[in-house]
Amino acid sequence: MTDDPAPHGAPPAQIVDSHCHLDFPDFDGQQADLIARARAAGVTRMVTICTRLHKEPTVRALAEAHDGLFYAAGTHPMYAAEEPLASVDELIALAAHPKMVGIGETGLDYHYTADSAEVQAVSLRNHIAAARETRLPLIIHARDADEDMARILTDEYRNGAYSCVMHCFTSGAGLARAALDLGFYLSMSGIAAFPRSTELREIFATAPPDRILLETDAPYLAPPPFRGKRNEPAYVAHTAKVGAQLFGMAYDEFAALTSANFDRLFWKAAA
């Protein structure tokens, strides 16, 4: 085994981009090319995320049009106050589609939208109820809200178990531990590969390797050597290389591990 994603001209190890936004304007008309580049890099499956439910038909159509592309749907916390409140029944109905594999992204964001904290919490609890009912994983966005996030996730888990991934995890060690104690997953984005993200990598290093996922959050957060440029699913391979080094694994071993983790959590998209 090797640290090189594609040694000596061999096909690259298969990996998954568990979170991207291929419906965003950055990618208009380019999705087929993006997906082709991702496959060439070994990224055989992707989950594209709907952040406003009125856009769900567009995101669903993308997933229907491409093999290996799945989707999730919910209301992003930054939009919770400006979008109609997502009901539990509405989310459950959407989840019946065979390619809808997750609930969200939802969560709490107090960085830009702390004034809507109350409605964000209501929205989050509705998404949790839908995740519990459908058995689909909850996809959590958390920013500058660690204490409230840990409290709500833990309180709701007492009301009934559900599965969850902390998407693009950049929060503190306390929220990481709370999530891991509930059996949840942490997802590594390109931020974890930034040279100055030492503290974040230390948090990931304390997590069980079987609770780690990979993502791009494309078009955002491109890892080195593409930092500052538009991100795309193919670049998740660069984050995977950093993750493999962090956990002391060969690249293909880490790729297989994180793919198995994805299959276990996102069971509707399992290979």
For the chain, the structural domain boundaries read: 21-269
Instruction: Indicate if the pLDDT at residue 1 is higher than 80.
Output: no
| The pLDDT value given to residue 2 | 47
Which one is predicted more confidently, 160 or 4?
Answer: 160
- The Cα–Cα gap between 163 and 21 comes to 22
The two structure tokens encoding residue 270: 């399992």
Model confidence band, residue 9 (pLDDT cutoffs 50, 70, 90):
low
From 137, 142, 166, 162, select the one nearest 71 (Cα to Cα): 137
- The Cα–Cα gap between 83 and 74 comes to 11
Type of residue found at 214: L
How many percent of the chain have pLDDT more than 90? Answer: 95
Name the 3-class secondary structure at 143: strand
pTM of the model: 0.95
CATH of 21-269, one of 3.40.50.300, 1.10.286.10, 1.10.8.60, 3.20.20.140: 3.20.20.140
Instruction: Indicate if the pLDDT at residue 63 is higher than 70.
Output: yes
